Chain A
Amino acid sequence: MKTNDTKLTAYALNELPETERQAFEKELTPETRKAVEEIRALAGQLNAHYATEGETCLTDEQRETIFAAARKKKEKIIPFPRYVWMPLASAAALAGIILYVSLPRISGPTDRAVEVAGRMESTATPTDKRIRTDVDPFSSTPSVTRPKMELKKPAIKMKKSAKPKTLRRIARGRPYGKRSDAGAVSLYMSADKFEKTDCYGVTRTDSLTARPWGPSIENYAEIRENQFLRVINQPLSTFSIDVDTASYSNMRRFLKNGTLPPKDAIRIEELINYFDYNDAPPTGNTPFATHLEVSSTPWNPKHKLVRIALKGFEIEQSERPALNLVFLLDVSGSMNSENKLPLVKRAMTMLTRQLDERDRVSIVVYAGASGLVLPPTFGANRQAILDALKRLEAGGGTNGGQGIELAYRTALENYNKEGVNRVILCTDGDFNIGVTQGGDLNRLIEEKAKSGIFLSVLGFGTGNTKDSIMEQLADRGNGNYAYIDTFSEARKVLVDEMSGTLLTIAKDVKIQVEFNPALVAGYRLIGYENRMLKTEDFNDDKKDAGEIGAGHTVTALYEIVPTGQPVNGIPPVDELKYQISDSAPVRSDELLTVKLRYKEPDGDTSRKIEIPLRNVERSFESTSDDFRFATAVAGFGMLLRDSEFKGDLTYGQVIEWAQSAQGEDGFGYRREFIELVRNAQAIGR
């Protein structure tokens, strides 16, 4: 009998509770007694076997790190890494499944070995440790060795139209899938694979399948598309600007791989703001110029489309302020693939060419522990920076929280009042040790942001990109978030648009639009779903909002329903019987007024700007190139998101508008966009 059999083993191994043990003992027969003897003999052999097994222990440095942490008692550490997903409501339910799926696989590492044979070269070598452990990550005052000054190098002029860029070629191979798992989490493992591995009795040949190993864990927070709102109910629309571009490059990665991106990976405002527009920079003393334009909506001619564009002032490379940059690099094991740490290194090597003797660069790495691998070094001392980069290797777990502490501390110690102080976090976003829970990490960052240090988050890699975590971090840390999938993207972010990425010219920029009810019945903001603010937040200087960098363009599009047209297809509700709106609409030919609030980069009180937009009738075809191109990008985003407002919009139309609005396109980004739309069109079929 099975239960009794199990009990027999438990008895032999002294695992039965005392009362049960006594009862069981009485029932023993000579036969079962013999079995007990055998089990105990085997147990002895097993004990002996394991006792002779080769042993390993921690390195002295690792032990020291632990003892140092023990001395530092107040370290906040979250017990279980899995919960890193928990704050993400949409992913939470699925997290358990992933764990379950990956668990049996892990118990069978030898199977895995067969699947991935031939990857030996990438195995971490023991030297990986060097970087992480030769610096005491916990010492409160990192020893700063002052580097010798090198000869002055001429500053490199940075102008966007400098040279045309070679175009990235887009794979146009046969698409193999329509949309990657639209949910927050996609599992590559098929059901039969799951079953096979679940029962553990996998033979080695069983697992010789070409399927990617394990689950791919990419997190995207759900985006609920902004709806049409009635002006009668909500005359004000308030949101924070967003200069992130990550969603675009992430979308590009999917399309180049022949799949449509998950819906929630598409943030339309980030697609639009990926591009550089030709709006005129400011002439007065405001940090940015505001441009408004209106026409009919191409996908719904009865509606109007309004473009609001902010253009930050531009700074010549030679006039830019000094930089105090602290690179915070994730060197955990997961960064060990060609499109991660090696790409980070190449990107940074490229950036160092832009630096000179005014600037200071430090590098903090974090994995299981964190350390300062490059103490603050003058930008002109390029060799020292390059040497430090060369030494970087990936390996170990990811303690984001601790590294962030050290990075901000380093930035603060070298704080340059006149210059730019910024932490640049390069990661795949998978924090799993230390302060990891979304809320805690966000609070930590928010706290640090108050010290006047800005944050840039550069996301790398695929497979476990925690898009939503990285976006939130940048959001909280007064920063921007870019996703770097290719070398050209690294160049765009760190070189071509370096000043936009690094030099914040205004912070907490909020937009509030007031619509004129005499002319507008309803409106819908395209994108910016996770940037919406409450009406009262606009005048509240304590409420955080987005930052704008030098030369940045921020574009927002509103689809507007003129009076007399139904909003969402529903006629207006009856007038209230017990409340009379005492104020008749003011007579005005203005469609709307855009109100902006912003703070100086180091300021605490905001300033306000108001710009009205007059109602004009204009066809879409007669609008500016930038208007049509932004509309094309928005339309593409709506198609990828399968928006309920896309009407009869087609990829073909998007291509047509984009082609008509290609303009100068010095870097070829717009051409690449058209290629991407073609890719999507091919996959969508």
Chain B
Amino acid sequence: MDKEKWISSLVKRYERPLCSYAFSLLHDFERARDAVQDTFLRLCGQKPEKLKGREAPWLFRVCRNRSLDILRKEEPVCPLSEPQEASLPSEEKTPDEQTAHGDLSQLLPRFLSKLPKNQQEVIRLKFQQQLSYREIAHCTRLSESNVGYLLHTGIKTLRAQMINL
């Protein structure tokens, strides 16, 4: 397959998903873009036939490593835009008030943000990127059963909170 075409189709397909994934790790659009650009630049050094069928997990994994590198390498800076639910807890309505207003959609992100980070990450990879357990495992370097466990625990917590309303 023509390599140029291969690259451009993958950029088209994965540019946004990778950007939002990188953003979730870096909390900064600029650096997220850098990480994604680096990921694709590295992709240019790969042989299409070698990655066939596992482009997505490969991209997410490299993107993740790049983001971690950036985090490790750079001096920590205050994220440009934190998820709202994490930064403005006091001014928000209580869950009860929100239910009363039928504002359920506001609650999910709030509960999500309270989950441990590793659960948040696998949930994001699963539901935002629609990756399989195996692909998530490849991306995060966890074992498949570990991914299953984290997802399960995260979902269980979310479910309990939603039901308790």
Contact = CB atoms under 8 A, between A and B. Distances in A.
Contacts, number: 239
A247 interface: no
Given A56-B29, A57-B15, A333-B70, A109 B79 contact: yes
Contacts of A51: 128
Find the residue from A50, A67, A128 having the highest chain B CB count within 10 A.
Answer: A50
A245 to B, nearest CB: 26
Contacts of A71: 4
Find the residue from A70, A110, A112, A395 having the highest chain B CB count within 10 A.
Answer: A70
Interface residues of A, number: 93
Nearest to B37: A62
B11 to A, nearest CB: 6
A470 B159 CA distance: 53
Interface string A40-63: 001101110111011111110011
Contacts of B15: 57-58, 63
A357 interface: no
Interface string A544-578: 00000000000000000000000000000000000
Contacts of A533: none
A103 B68 contact: yes
Contacts of B78: 113, 116-120, 123
A194 to B, nearest CB: 15
Given A108-B117, A123-B80, A55 B20 contact: yes
B156 to A, nearest CB: 7
B128 A53 contact: yes
B30 to A, nearest CB: 5
A106 B159 contact: no
A138 to B, nearest CB: 10
A522 B121 CA distance: 63
Contacts of A124: 28, 30-31, 77
19 contacts: A6-B149, A10-B152, A45-B108, A55-B19, A58-B19, A65-B37, A69-B44, A70-B8, A73-B3, A77-B44, A81-B69, A102-B71, A109-B25, A109-B27, A122-B77, A129-B30, A213-B75, A368-B37, A369-B41
Interface of B: 3-4, 7-8, 11, 15-16, 19-20, 23, 25-38, 40-46, 62, 65-80, 82-83, 86, 105, 108-109, 112, 116-121, 123-124, 126-128, 132-133, 145, 148-149, 151-152, 155-156, 158-159, 162-163
Given A124-B28, A333-B31, 18 more contacts: A6-B152, A9-B151, A56-B29, A62-B33, A63-B11, A65-B41, A66-B40, A75-B45, A77-B41, A78-B45, A81-B65, A99-B68, A107-B121, A110-B82, A124-B77, A200-B119, A337-B75, A368-B41
